[in-house]
Amino acid sequence: MSRERRQVGGRLGEPDALLAVTKPGEWNDYAIVAQGAKSRSQSTG
């Protein structure tokens, strides 16, 4: 396993936009898939 330190290279979205698709107090799924230098995120609420 590499001991290289990882750094945040960006954000997945604006906080207000992410909160708009979630349902507080209910079940929310959030998935991040990373393959090499590419990543994809999906949120369901």
7 in any annotated domain: no
6 in any annotated domain: no
Condensed to tens digits (0 to 9), the pLDDT of residues 4-38 reads 776 667 777 788 887 887 777 888 787 888 888 88
pLDDT at 30: 78
1 in any annotated domain: no
Q: Residue 26: which region, alpha, beta or left (left: phi > 0; alpha: psi -120 to 50)?
A: beta
3 in any annotated domain: no
Q: What is the number of structural domains in the chain?
A: 1
What is the extent of the structural domain holding 30? 15-44
4 in any annotated domain: no
20 in any annotated domain: yes
Q: Give the Cα separation of 16 and 18 in Å (integer).
A: 5
30 in any annotated domain: yes
